[in-house]
Chain A
Amino acid sequence: MVRKIFTITKRDIKSGLRDYMILYIIIAPFILAVVLRMMTASVGLTTINVAVDKSIDEAFIEYLGQHVDIEIFENQDDVKNRVNDTDDIFGLVKQSDSYNIIQQGNETGGGIDVLDFIVNSYENQDLELPVEVNISDVGWRLSPFKQFGGNLLTIFVSVFGGMIILMNIVEEKQENTLAAVSVSAIKRIEYVIGKALLGFILPIVHAFGILAILDYGDINYIMVSVVILSIAVISVIIGFVIGVTNDNILGAISSMKMLFVPILGSIFGAIFLNSKWHFLLYWSPFYWAFDALNSIILQTATWSQILINSGIIILITAIVFMMLSKRIKRGLS
């Protein structure tokens, strides 16, 4: 039985390698992780961007450069044009003995006030302040951008395994090999497990790779495996359902596209929504996976939390499976 299962898996890998798709799917997440790592290396936390012209003297530019990111332009008009650009950047020009801070008006956050204080603190440097300001920290070196970015990437690519299953099934249908399999000595269950194996192996390989590339330090990879395996189940099921219910690749690919909405929706929701709104996401297995991975990355995860979250994911999956198992059976026969 095991040998037959592996035969099916091996055949899928072989046909995937023949047209590079599997290679793409295997390599792409690692490339994205490297890109993310490069991006997070330069972002400690977003700072304020300021466009200045030649009216600002060198000493002040140097002072500003210690606090904000600076772009230097020839004249005031160029500064204004830059401020009018799509991203958030303020302008700063000198007029006789005062400074003019230029904003577009739609900038986010309180950047304008901060810049105002910084410019004034330069001009009022000689004042004797009756206060002292110190900056210290609690020694946490992981930026939110990296913390959430790696997590998002890991969960997002966990569906790639399902995608491969789906593509393989659709391809088999098109080439009529499915009918050939049904008259061979392979039982349906062996065939299904053989097909599904890839959907479990890939997400684990990806998750380990992405988390290692982003280097979160000493995280518990056994916990990672448990969470990823439980989330892989749902991708595998979805891969099967879409695969067996679509006779052509067009419907299959557009159905796969549909999956992206709940995945991205629940993850962005978990990041940006105030915690009092999180109950709105409880239906989504991807939310629970994100929540568990987040704790693992922050190194605050406990086994009870991981098991509870994975349990919820499996429970939701079981409900989905019960609703769809008939369709899978029908599609495979």
Chain B
Amino acid sequence: MMKVLYTFLKDLKVSFKTFYIYIEIIMALIFVVILLFVVPEDFTSKEVLYVHVDSSIESNFITRELEKHDDQGVVFLESRDEIEKVLEQDRNSVGVSISKDDDKVVYDIVLQGYENPKHRNMIEKSLVGYLARELPEYKSVTEITTLNNYSERLTDRINLLPMFLLLNSSFTGLFIVAAYIFMDKEEGTIKAFAVTPAKVWQYLLSKMGMMLFTGFLTGIGTTLLVARLDVNYFYLALLLIVTNAFGTAVGLFIASFYDSIIKAMGAIYVVIITFAFATISYFVPSFSPFIIKILPSYPIIFAFREVFLENPNISFIYYNIAGFGILAVIFFIWANNRFKKTLTV
């Protein structure tokens, strides 16, 4: 173990020389500045609903109901034609034109056109259901059960942190560790290492420690500056350690297939971009196809979200820690076996 520690300290020294550590810290600080000073606490923009109520309608009910949602972006217009014009200018909006035909009130919902049939039916039926509630013979047949009464939502700003922790702190090793190994190869360090009594696994473990040092530092530091003390740091620390080790082990494993950084980097880029797809489902939780759910980054980003909640799902966090801990060990052993054959050559 002393050998690992010695190699690790040597690596740490080198990384300060190559400015690598400084770059990581500066990047984390830039992110903090953007989050604190550029990103508003809540910024989600909502769809605007453009409404035209025909003069033949004398019901106050409609206007009253619509005005209830004034803060959610309801805009009244003079005619149906105007709705169409505005919709062509603003592609993130929908409209409704309300008029009278004989004795019936006609709700003409104007959409953009890219909505699939299910979505259209959903909008139609929910409006029908909403209006039917006003009838005397209407009977409600539903009750709502909430499984987790402590459910809370994070602010938009805090909600961005798990993405940073995933892509920057967890996967910093995935990104960089190959560059480290090949740098050692280029500079002949590996050859020098080969004649020492230290083992390959000790060399690799020291690299892992280096990555963990930076990932942990930037992860905890960023969280501390943005979310202050409203975070469960114990779980965050455990998650950071395990997921960072997993990322680095995968990076080592990929690197073991190549003999130059340029080749390895291509494969690593493809893997990172693929992993990053999980962030789409994180921000749009109703869109989570199977193909995204099987990515390792998918549970990790949601596990990070839990540490910011007042009542985190502890079993989910531990399940992630155990799962990625085991995976990290497997990939590490795998990479070590491959490097044993190739690293000293």
Contact = CB atoms under 8 A, between A and B. Distances in A.
A138 B118 contact: no
Contacts of A46: 284, 286-287
Interface in B300-326: 302, 316
A21 B260 CA distance: 10
Contact of B115 (A44, A100, A250, A274): A44
B34 to A, nearest CB: 6
B118 A69 contact: yes
A87 interface: yes
B166 interface: no
A102 interface: yes
A43 B186 CA distance: 47
Contact of A106 (B130, B151, B299): B151
A104 B299 CA distance: 17
B114 A141 contact: yes
A117 B130 contact: yes
A311 interface: no
B281 A99 contact: no
B27 A261 contact: yes
B112 A253 contact: no
A142 B39 CA distance: 28
A144 B92 contact: yes
A221 interface: no
B149 A105 contact: yes
B288 A87 contact: yes
Interface string B1-43: 0000000000000010011100110110011001000111001
Contacts of A23: 266
B258 to A, nearest CB: 9
B214 to A, nearest CB: 9
Interface size class of B (residues with CB under 8 A): 35 or more
Given A49-B286, A105-B146, A140 B128 contact: no
B45 interface: yes
A304 interface: no
B125 interface: yes
Interface in B172-212: 175-176, 179-180, 182-183, 186
Nearest to B316: A86
A89 to B, nearest CB: 8
Nearest to B35: A265
Contact of B175 (A21, A249, A257, A261): A257
B287 A250 contact: no
Contacts of B146: 102-105
B88 A138 contact: yes
B345 interface: no
A138 B221 CA distance: 49
A171 B150 CA distance: 55
B286 A254 contact: no
B111 interface: yes
B55 interface: no
Interface string A61-102: 000001111000000000010011011110000000111111
B229 interface: no
B88 A140 contact: yes
Interface stretch (B98-106, B230-238, B242-250): B98-106
A305 B328 CA distance: 51
B126 interface: yes
Is chain A's binding surface mostly helix, strand, loop or mixed? Answer: mixed
A316 interface: no
A254 B20 contact: yes
A137 B88 CA distance: 10
B148 A133 contact: no
Given A101-B143, A101-B145, A105-B151, A143 B114 contact: yes
A24 B267 contact: yes
Contacts of A48: 122, 286
A248 B15 CA distance: 11
A258 B23 contact: yes
Given A99-B142, A105-B149, A127-B137, A139 B113 contact: yes
Contact of A44 (B116, B142, B186, B285): B116
A109 B119 CA distance: 15
Interface in A191-235: none
Nearest to A109: B286
A114 B121 CA distance: 11
Contact of B142 (A24, A100, A257): A100
A20 B265 CA distance: 10
A19 B263 contact: yes
Interface string B278-297: 00010011111100010000
B83 to A, nearest CB: 9
Contacts of A261: 27, 30-31, 34
A271 to B, nearest CB: 9
Given A28-B270, A123-B141, A261-B27, A104 B148 contact: yes
Interface in A274-332: 274-275, 277, 280, 298
Given A21-B265, A107-B285, A138-B87, A118 B126 contact: yes
A280 B127 CA distance: 38
Given A19-B262, A106-B153, A272 B44 contact: yes
Given A87-B286, A140-B114, A249 B145 contact: no
10 contacts: A24-B267, A88-B285, A104-B151, A121-B125, A129-B132, A130-B105, A136-B111, A137-B110, A138-B110, A138-B111
Interface of A: 16, 19-21, 23-25, 28, 31-32, 39, 42-49, 66-69, 80, 83-84, 86-89, 97-109, 111-114, 116-121, 123-124, 127, 129-144, 147, 167, 171, 174, 246, 248-251, 253-255, 257-258, 261, 265, 269, 272-275, 277, 280, 298
Query: Which A-B residue pairs are the 4 nearest by beta carbons?
Result: A44-B116, A117-B129, A105-B151, A24-B266
